[in-house]
Amino acid sequence: MTAESALDRSGARSAPRLFDGALKKALAIAFAVAIVAVPLNVADGYILTVLTTAAIAAIATSGLNLLTGFAGQISLGHAFFVGAGAFSGQLFGGQLGLPFLVWLPLAAIFAGLLGAVVAPFALRLKGPYLAMVSLGLVFLGIYAARNLPALTGGLNGTVVTAEASIGPIDFTALRIGPFLLTREQGMFLLCWGILTLVLLAIANIVRSRSGRAMQAIRDHDLAAEVLGVRRLPTMMNAFIVSSVLGGLAGGLLAVHLQYIRPENFGLDLSIQYVAIVVIGGLARVWGPVLGSLFIGLVPVLAIWLSGFLPFISQAGQRGGVSVSSFGLIVYGVLIVVFLLYRREGLVSFFRLPSRRTRRGTESDPLTASNEGHSS
């Protein structure tokens, strides 16, 4: 049996779907309605900023979920590609003045090219060795950004002047009929709209022959290679797509923040992305969305708790645990809790009971990956 026939036979019954039940279809409709309804009915700029940041994080972690969840390759360097997309987006859109529909794809492509350069070397390693190599990319990226002031602003960072407009539609000053939306409302519509397209793309990728090959290697790499699935090209596809989505998210994040520094794309951001994927649900298309919304509330919770817990320092105070450090602690605790007690993540709470009874037939990305590597 060839790899193509084996993957085609298994694909029809095992490939994940974006809308594979009545509940998910209802949630998808509610999701589409919320994208339009929330910014039109929520005037609080801080809430909209948190939700927009969550959408950007969901775009980035959709790529990481493809690499780690569906392909079984552990990466701690996703912040490197997000940073590459952010700074290249400012270069193309701010310094060169290219329009939004040009500079944003170029930022994504630039990050994808970096992924294509790194992938052949990094993917020869597995498990913790790949994690260590990918982690090194984060520190390499920070070092490069600090020492390229003409492109990144160096240690002081740079103000982002790239535009977020498509023709006459300016999302920073969007007008719908007689209503002029705020910048936060327009960016919410833009980022959540792009996230919708990314989710549809990921759902189709994992159902394609290439996506099923990724999952076959994740579940048992030796068996997949015996069937003729080539590991390195398949994993390179996952790595490059993941890098492209990281660059896409980076460009949007730069416009959203309006000011970026090399430290914005450090180890803490990579840890946050790993937490989103694990908590939302590994190898689940909707996992990054739920995980990003959940993790997005952690800083809000930390700020609120700073008035009650003495060991959390408030802004401007010295001593104690800062809000950002407290967030990292929470991320670590949540990763451990979900890996031990809820491996399917938040997505499992939205599954129908009839699906839960079939959990034993669905592969666990972490367990399957470990079994494949130990064979």
Ranges of each domain in the chain: 3-266
By the 8 A CB rule, do 229 and 216 touch? yes
Average per-residue pLDDT in the chain?
Answer: 86
Of 334, 232, 236, 344, the closest CA to residue 283 belongs to 344
Question: From CA 242, how far away is CA 296, in angstroms rounded?
Answer: 21
Task: Give 307-365 pLDDT, tens digit per residue.
Answer: 777 777 766 666 677 777 787 788 888 888 888 888 889 998 876 554 444 444 445 55
Which H or E element spans position 136?
Answer: helix 127-146
Model pLDDT, residue 252? 98
Predicted confidence at residue 12, as pLDDT, reads 43
pLDDT computed for residue 144 by the predictor: 96
Instruction: Give the pLDDT of residue 358.
Output: 46
C-alpha to C-alpha distance for 153 and 51, rounded to whole angstroms: 28
pTM above 0.85, yes or no: yes
Beta bridge partners of 176: 179
- Gap between the Cα atoms of 100 and 116, Å rounded: 24
**Distance, CA of 243 to CA of 78 (rounded, Å):** 7
One-letter amino acid identity for 287? G
The per-residue pLDDT for 237 is 95
Place of tokens 């969305």: 289
Low-confidence ranges of the chain (pLDDT < 50): 10-14, 16, 354-362, 373-375
**What's residue 327's pLDDT?**
79
**Residue 89 identity:** G
Nearest alpha-carbon partner for 59 in 324, 259, 298, 255? 255
Tell me, what's the pLDDT at 78?
97
- As a whole number of angstroms, the distance between CA 206 and CA 52 comes to 26
Tokens of 330: 């929470």
- Confidence at residue 56, expressed as pLDDT on a 0 to 100 scale: 98
The C-alpha atoms of residue 305 and residue 327 are separated, in whole angstroms, by: 11
Asked if 42 and 189 count as a contact pair (C-beta separation under 8 A), the reply is: no
How many CA atoms does the CB half-sphere of 187 hold within 13 Å?
27
DSSP structural state of residue 17: -
pLDDT tens digits, 36-76: 999 989 889 999 999 999 999 999 999 999 999 999 999 99
Write down the residue that tokens 């020492």 correspond to. 147
Task: Supply the pLDDT for residue 17.
Answer: 55
**DSSP H or E segment with residue 205:** helix 183-207
Q: Are 280 and 61 in contact (CB under 8 A)?
A: yes
Predicted pLDDT of residue 145: 96
159 membership: H or E segment, kind and range: strand 158-159
Distance CA 363, CA 375 (A): 16
Specify the pLDDT at position 136: 94
Euclidean distance between CA atoms 208 and 162, whole angstroms:
35
